[in-house]
Chains A and B, each alone.
Chain A
Amino acid sequence: MINYIIKRLLALIPILIGVAVIVFLIVHLIPGDPAQTMLGERATDEALQRLREQMGLNDPLPVQFWRYVKDLLRGDLGRSIMSNNPVSAELAQRFPATLELSFFAIMFAVLVGIPAGIFASINQNSWFDNLSMLIALMGVSMPIFWLGLMFIWLFAVELGWFPPSSRIGVGLDFTPITNLYVIDSILQLNFSALKDILHHLVLPAVALGTIPMAIIARMTRSSMLEVLRKDFIRTAYAKGLKRKVVIFKHALKNAMVPIITVVGLQFGVLLGGAVMTETIFSWPGLGKYLVDAIYARDFPIVQGGILFFAGVFVIVNLIVDLSYALVDPRIQYE
């Protein structure tokens, strides 16, 4: 297993290099002058010249590429045009907000989607089964940003149950440490802040988690249905085992591999969805920052942000692959 992990980690290196190359090429090979694009049509020649020099755009492409790789290896993603702060610091500051949102969204998706899928599969063709599959089908056809807008309209504007935007109410006594607000507030035993933070989290997390929830429910159902038809399930019942034991211990465990796969794949969808959800809920995470950077034509941020998202995505996929062995001992890695 350890050998396999090392092998997989080594195999990541060329992929990550490739990702870095593509991001570099997107910015540098496309016709047009990045400095001009960044500063707009009306920029003066001096300003353009200054920016080109600052970004090293006057050097030949291979020189630029070499410098980019060298900087990248040192964790240096350049400086933001907007703030002049290092890109890595800007990204690191905002990532916890995205992580927190994604975590609660995937928790919601898993905790609702898997039980719903199991329940639908053991009551195949019941009204619950049909309804949940209809919701799942709508879920895969729905734009996440529309769902977010509808949530804001219904639960924030009309009913007033939840705040429509941001991570925490104004005027609350709270000092972030790790920027993972939930953890910070627990560490500080600041329960009034914790309540407020969770209150702010509900709408965006549920909006972001709904579509993955629908897909996970659909996959759980079809994977369970497949296992429930197998001979060993009949044997388990014949042995006189309780229904609960058969379903959770025998069936679910065997149905888990495709479910984990889809949960992992959904994490990637979630990262993309975070861009939209954060924009709608004014959530100060990486996704919203990336969109703001695009509007501001802050290319170092765009470049670094996409690279960062891709890196997280690749690592999550690896973790998903490795987790198969935990749920299914038949899977052995060489």
Chain B
Amino acid sequence: MSDSKKNKVMKKNTNPWFEAWRRLLQSKIGIAGLGIIIFLILVAVLAPVLAPYNPFEQNILARYKAPSSEHLLGTDEMGRDILSRIIYGSRISLQVGLVSVSLALVFGVGFGLLAGYYGGKIDMVIMRFMDIMLAFPSILLAIGIVAILGPQLKNAMLAIGIINVPRFARIVRSSVLSIKESEYISAAKALGAGDLRIVFKHLLPNAMAPLIVQTTLSIATAILEAAALSFLGLGAQPPSPEWGAMLSDARSSLQRAPWVATFPGLAIIFGVLGFNLLGDGLRDALDPKMKNV
């Protein structure tokens, strides 16, 4: 092995992120969660190949067909194949999770950095505002926002993003406060580093570990919240194969065709479980101190 290669390997092994990745791969729940998420992503990407039927195609002659070799998970009131709808629905759930949590992440991190770094009045105004948002039971605030904006998947994602902002802001702020006064930050300032450099080069990387954990767990709750909104008719609208919306359709046919309600629910549990498991695994891997908290 040449010297430069050796150095590279040495460097890699001492990198905390590499160390965390190694720990994640050792944790059973982390691996299980990662496996579920990779599976979901593959299903979403390969939906046109995997789905045996067109998820929107109605067939009045095949209404409420019980699960069989022809329709593995049965059909719904319009004779649509439930398996195909669940497969396509994975695209919507992943999209909701990613879009709404990205939104929360961008604004939450921004507010958290501003509040933590500048302190004083800015901190007070921002954090009081966050406290007020946390004074609402979160799903109710989302319901309120969507009720006013109008029932659409786009608005549901926006509402879910908004209600998740305070959690991210709090994490970033507390992490910034804990290291703002450290000597190396003073040193960076003494060397003439500007605010932006300090914030993005020193403060933000320190908040990364809890942020990654929170992001993963928030995707799980975002999928649940979106399903709840769609179930109430406030999110994805028919004939969208969103999992929560599929459950909403199933209410009237519980007696006749319980499978219409069963499988989309199991799909939601599966997807949410994946992100929850990965979140738990990441928490153990990134910060062993946070274990069991």
Instruction: Please tell me if B145 contacts chain A, counting CB pairs below 8 Å.
Output: yes
B136/A302 in contact, CB under 8 A: no
Q: Contact mask B112-135 → A, CB, 8 Å, 1/0?
A: 000000000000000011011101
CB of B68 within 8 Å of the partner chain: no
Q: How long is the Cα–Cα vector from A143 to B250 in the complex, in angstroms?
A: 15
Interface Cβ pair total, 8 Å cutoff: 128
For residue B265, which residues in chain A have a CB less than 8 angstroms away from its CB?
142-143, 146, 149-150
Asked if B292 contacts A222 (CB within 8 A), the reply is: yes
Contact B234 A143 (CB under 8 A): no
Mark contacts of B203-234 with chain A using CB atoms, 8 A cut-off: 1 yes-contact digit, 0 otherwise: 00000000000000000100010011001111
Q: Indicate if the CB atoms of A143 and B133 lie closer than 8 Å.
A: no
- Report the minimal beta-carbon distance from B133 to chain A, rounded to whole angstroms: 7
Q: Which A residues lie within 8 Å of B72 (CB)?
A: none
B247 touches A309 (CB 8 A): no
8 A Cβ contacts from B144-163 to A: 144-145, 147-150
CA A9 to CA B233, docked complex, whole Å: 38
Indicate if the CB atoms of B233 and A295 lie closer than 8 Å: yes
A207 within 8 A of partner (CB): no
Judged by a CB distance under 8 angstroms, whether A109 is at the interface is no
For this complex, into which size category does the number of interface residues on chain B fall?
35 or more
- Which of A138, A145, A157, A294 is close to B228, meaning CB atoms less than 8 Å apart? A145
Question: What per-residue 1/0 map shows which CB atoms of B243-263 lie under 8 Å from chain A?
Answer: 010010011001100100110
- Interface membership of chain A positions 177-192, coded 1 if the CB is closer than 8 angstroms to chain B and 0 otherwise: 0000000000000000
Question: B13-21, B50-58, B266-274: which one contacts chain A?
Answer: B266-274
Q: Does A141 contact B (CB under 8 A)?
A: yes
B140/A141 in contact, CB under 8 A: no
A294-B147 contact, Cβ under 8 Å, with A15-B135, A149-B250, A276-B232: yes
Residues of B contacting A279 in the complex (Cβ-Cβ under 8 angstroms): 232
**Interface residues on chain A, number (Cβ under 8 Å):** 47
B229: shortest Cβ distance to chain A, in Å? 10
Residues on B with C-beta less than 8 A from A157 are: 254-255, 258
* Chain A minimum-CB-distance residue to B224: A143
Bound complex: CA A296 to CA B293 (Å): 43
Provide the residues of chain B in CB contact with A222, threshold 8 Å.
Answer: 292
On whether A306 and B276 interact (CB within 8 A), knowing A18-B129, A291-B232, the answer reads no
The residue of chain B having its C-beta at the shortest distance from the C-beta of A226 within the complex is B292
Partner of B136, one of A14, A152, A306: A306
A112, CB-defined interface residue at 8 Å: no
Bound-state Cα–Cα, A16 to B231, Å? 30
B143 touches A (CB below 8 Å): yes
Question: How distant is the Cα of A228 from the Cα of B56 in the complex, in angstroms?
Answer: 56
Interface assignment of B31: CB less than 8 Å from any CB of chain A:
no
Residues of A within 8 A of B277 (CB): 137
Q: Are B147 and A309 in contact (CB-based, < 8 A)?
A: no
The answer to whether A145 touches B231, judged by C-beta atoms less than 8 angstroms apart, is yes
A272 touches B144 (CB 8 A): no
Q: Is B194 an interface residue (CB 8 A)?
A: no
A306 to B136, CA, bound (A): 8
B192 proximity list for chain A (CB < 8 A): none
Please measure, in the bound complex, the distance between the C-alpha atom of A184 and the C-alpha atom of B277, giving whole angstroms: 45
Docked-complex contact A302 and B147, CB < 8 angstroms: yes
Give the contact stretch, choosing among A22-30, A195-203, A244-252: A22-30
User: In the bound complex, what is the Cα–Cα distance between A138 and B143 (angstroms)?
Assistant: 25
- Say whether A269 faces chain B, with CB atoms less than 8 Å apart: yes
CB-based contact A309/B136 at 8 Å: yes
Bitwise interface map of A from 53 to 81 toward B, beta carbon under 8 Å scored 1, else 0: 00000000000000000000000000000
Residue B240 CB within 8 A of the other chain:
no
> Which of A290, A291, A294, A313 has the most chain B CB atoms inside 10 A of its CB?
A294
Contacts of A138-178 to chain B: CB distance below 8 A: 138, 140-146, 149-150, 152-153, 157
A230 to B291, CA, bound (A): 17
Residues of A within 8 A of B273 (CB): 137-138, 141
The 6 A-B pairs at the shortest CB distance, nearest first, are namely A146-B265, A18-B132, A272-B139, A141-B272, A141-B273, A272-B137
Q: A157-B258, A280-B251 are in contact. List 16 more A-B contacts (CB 8 A).
A: A26-B148, A27-B148, A30-B148, A141-B269, A141-B272, A149-B261, A150-B265, A153-B255, A269-B137, A271-B137, A275-B140, A306-B136, A306-B143, A306-B144, A310-B137, A313-B135
22 contacts between A and B (CB under 8 A): A18-B131, A19-B135, A22-B133, A26-B144, A30-B148, A141-B272, A141-B273, A142-B265, A142-B269, A143-B227, A143-B244, A157-B255, A157-B258, A269-B137, A276-B231, A290-B143, A291-B143, A294-B234, A302-B147, A309-B137, A310-B136, A314-B135
**B interface list, Cβ under 8 A from A:** 128-129, 131-133, 135-141, 143-145, 147-150, 220, 224, 227-228, 231-234, 244, 247, 250-251, 254-255, 258, 261-262, 264-265, 268-269, 272-273, 276-277, 292
